[in-house]
Copies of this chain bind each other. A is one copy, B any other.
Amino acid sequence: MRETVMAGVGMHPFGRFEGKPYTQMALEAVLMALKDANVPWKDVQAAYCSSVFCPATSGLKILTPLGLTGIPITNVEAACASGGSSIMIAQQAIATGLYDVVLALGVDKMPRGFISPEALGEKWQVLAGMVSGPMNFALNARRHMYEYGTTVEQMAKVSVKAHKNGVFNPYAMYRKELSFEEIMNSQVVADPIRRLMFCAPNEGAAAAVLCSRDVAKKYTDVRRCPEVASAVVKTAAYPGFPVMPYYSFSTRKKLVSPVKLAAREAYEKAGIGPKDLDVVELQDTDAASEINLYEQLDLCNEGEGGRLVDEGATEISGSIPVNPSGGLLCKGEPVGASGLGQVAEIVWQLRGEAGKRQVAKPKVGMSQVVGNGGICAVVILKN
């Protein structure tokens, strides 16, 4: 297997952009990534485009104005894990020697409001009374409280941290600090989760140019190109239907969460452990999920996620900074783009280009996204 590097990344801000087509947002992210890598479009040998809400062959439509060069352009989708899945396939293509230079991009322009499980094809959830995504998240949060004594206050602190970081991220939708009280007193959407503990579905795009290390040298200074140490996608392991799948509570011992599986395989492939991570971008669709994901990613033991928050360990200045970008709580989540947006942030962090949200001299970073609770993508980048 050849070494794969992130030669360049680009991002269109996440937010709401009325009247701006998804093709234009994505093209801006692509042009930024190509420029960052110093790779001309004509040298790109394959492209993988992630989107959930954009129309068929969106990758082709986005890239057509650059002049079509005959390369394969494939859309890759795994709900919220779409971007990470594109990166996995792109990395496999470079590592195995199929191509030397590939493009992964992600974009979405989502309808306003919470996503109904029905929109994702889960009619049974709606029949069971779970009429929106937040109800799922709330049940997960309640269960975590019941099992481990996690508190609503700890969830609020996650959101405080996110908004403190997001102020310094020009690509984030919400760039305003929020106080603990504001968050606690915001509307309860689905108990225990308040409005200001949720991320917003929105619009945006991100892109990355992946190369073999040897070929990257032709274009750019490879010292600013982190290695893709691993890019892993896993589904859950469970002999049956995984309701609320990414938990693995004592009552559901049979389920192995896709997050755990992906993280552990990614650590193994990268030859590192969770203690070696210097910075993490994870899928904080809501503040309680972030706490749970600390545990799923082995940043701490099961049940200790709340304690990690209390200790400030995941602050930018903490022992394992999580979501220095402000996370999805500040950026919002255009599902096709979020994984690639995380990877752009990790690249900037590893290069020391993250400005006032910069983590101190990180060497190893991780991105994690999970789609429909059942498919997780983890990418580990190393300087």
Q: A77 is contacted by which of B65, B75, B93, B121 (Cβ under 8 Å)?
A: B75
Least distance between A72 CB and chain B CB atoms (Å): 4
Residues in B with CB closer than 8 Å to A71 are 234-235
Flag if B97 contacts A54 (CB, 8 Å): no
Q: Cβ of A309 < 8 Å from any Cβ of B?
A: no
Docked-complex contact B98 and A57, CB < 8 angstroms: no
Is the beta-carbon distance between B121 and A234 smaller than 8 angstroms? no
Contact residue among B60, B76, B93, B242 (Cβ-Cβ distance under 8 Å from A74):
B76
Taking residues whose C-beta sits less than 8 angstroms from the other chain, chain A's interface range is 35 or more
Tell me whether B92 and A98 are in contact (CB under 8 A): yes
Q: State whether A64 touches B241 (Cβ < 8 A).
A: yes
CB distance from A118 to the nearest CB of B (A): 9
**Bound CA span A310–B335, Å:** 51
Question: Which residues on B sit within 8 Å (CB–CB) of A232?
Answer: 72
B74 contacts A89, C-beta separation under 8 Å? yes
- The smallest C-beta distance from A44 to any residue of chain B, in angstroms, reads 11
Residue of B with least CB distance to A240: B67
Known: A74-B78, A234-B71, A235-B72. Is A60-B241 also a contact (CB below 8 A)? Answer: no
Q: Is the beta-carbon distance between B371 and A57 smaller than 8 angstroms?
A: yes
Q: Which of B70, B92, B372 contacts A256 (CB 8 A)?
A: B70
A40-58 interface bits toward B, Cβ cutoff 8 Å, 1 = contact, 0 = none: 0000000000001011111
Find A242's partner among B54, B64, B235 (CB 8 Å cutoff): B64
Would you list the 3 A-B pairs with minimal beta carbon distance, nearest first?
Answer: A55-B121, A96-B96, A72-B233
Listed in ascending order, the chain A residues whose CB lies under 8 Å from chain B are 52, 54-58, 60-61, 64-65, 67-79, 85, 88-89, 92-93, 96-98, 119-121, 232-242, 256, 258, 261, 335, 371-372, 374-375
